[in-house]
Chain A
Amino acid sequence: MREYQSGRFEAFDEIHASIAPALRRYLLSQCRDAAKADDLIQETLLQMHRARHTYDPSYPLMPWAMAIARHVWLMDRRTLSRRPWAPDDVMDMELPVRAEAASLAERDEVRRALGQVAPGRRQAVIQHHLLGFSFKEIAERAGIAETAAKLRSSRGMAQLRALLKGTEGAPRKRRR
């Protein structure tokens, strides 16, 4: 870690090799979900990198890394407790189809069309139009700028409309 602090990036591989298994065991014991544990390991490693100046080489590395891992786990749990559910797969959710959409197509058609929308845009459309998240919240969840979240949502809606009208893929008019 001392070398990583002082400018040798390659030292990160050694740090990763020495602590990743223990971090994984710890995070897995907390969240009991292998995929989630892997995400949390990455987040922990990012935060370790961010806080690398706080590590004192005269102390062992593991308690420092574990404290950050615990913090990452608690932050993740706090975020989830605020938003206990978020859809990962549009095909699994019940869509409260609005009157506007109902006039265009049946519920299954909307679901199918939504399934064809690009994943990032689809998430933004669902979170904003169906779940009522603000663009700021969507941006925070996806780790993107608020304007990018708005862009995803509006383009997702445009793509959805085009799919429902059957014009997706047709050349678009250039707007000024």
Chain B
Amino acid sequence: MSVPAELRARLVADYRPVRRLRSPWARALWILPLAIVALVAAPAAFDVRPEANLGWLGVWGLSIAQSLIGVLVIGAALRESIPGRDWSRAAIALWLSIPVVSIVAITMVSWEASPVSLRAGWWLVGGICFAGSAATALPVVALSSILASRAYPTRPLIAGSLLGLGAGLTADAGWRIFCHFSEPAHVLSAHLAAVILSTTIGAMAAVRYSRLRGEKDPLHEPVGSGGDHRDRSE
């Protein structure tokens, strides 16, 4: 079995040496600067939650942990984007559940240490937290998507969902430092909804990009570019 002549011609026309992609975990580190910006953006622009009971560890420590988990999940998404390195079903379930469990756990710890209820303006405050957290996640989703698209995700829905989830978690870590309310009903609706939105955006972007990549692939142009324009001379 030899390489068909037409295939060889296409490959020769497109061939050049390439630099190998770095390991997914190394590439996930590129997210770190943006994760730090996302972590400090809301508290710098607005305020830090004034809860003496929580202390530095409860406010910043838990958020840093949440942000690092987010970067880790993005690393998992970048690994998923490499052909043949995809995660098993059990691993995917684990990667999807870790962020949710961590948000719930951090929320419960914060609530136990310093219960601050939201008495009025539930929708307004919820809307602000939802919009703020989701908006902060967008640049992280964008950068993660660019990193993932440098690879070749064969399961774009899973890769996109994971990177969106990681980005949402990273962004919400910063928003959590600003949000004054530790009431689980507020956090697990407004904040978690923003993370879910980010996950959806990541998944949709990855699937859309995957389809566009298939449609715009220059290798699919007929050999000897110009396609059917030879028809003109017929």
Residues of A that sit less than 8 Å from B by CB: 5-7, 9, 12-13, 16-17, 20-21, 24, 42, 45-47, 49-57, 59, 63-68, 70-71, 75, 118, 120-121, 140, 143-145, 148-149, 151-152, 155
Contact = CB atoms under 8 A, between A and B. Distances in A.
B227 A56 contact: no
Contact of B227 (A49, A53, A148): A148
A63 B84 contact: yes
Main secondary structure of the interface of A (DSSP, over half): helix
B7 A152 contact: no
Count class of interface residues, chain B: 35 or more
A59 B214 CA distance: 26
B83 A54 contact: yes
B7 A64 contact: no
Contacts, number: 111
B229 A148 contact: yes
10 contacts: A21-B1, A47-B152, A49-B11, A51-B83, A51-B152, A54-B21, A59-B85, A67-B84, A145-B228, A149-B228
A149 to B, nearest CB: 8
Contacts of B15: 9, 49
A70 B86 CA distance: 12
Interface stretch (B69-77, B93-101, B216-224): B216-224
B89 interface: no
Interface string B203-226: 000000000001101011110000
A121 B126 CA distance: 59
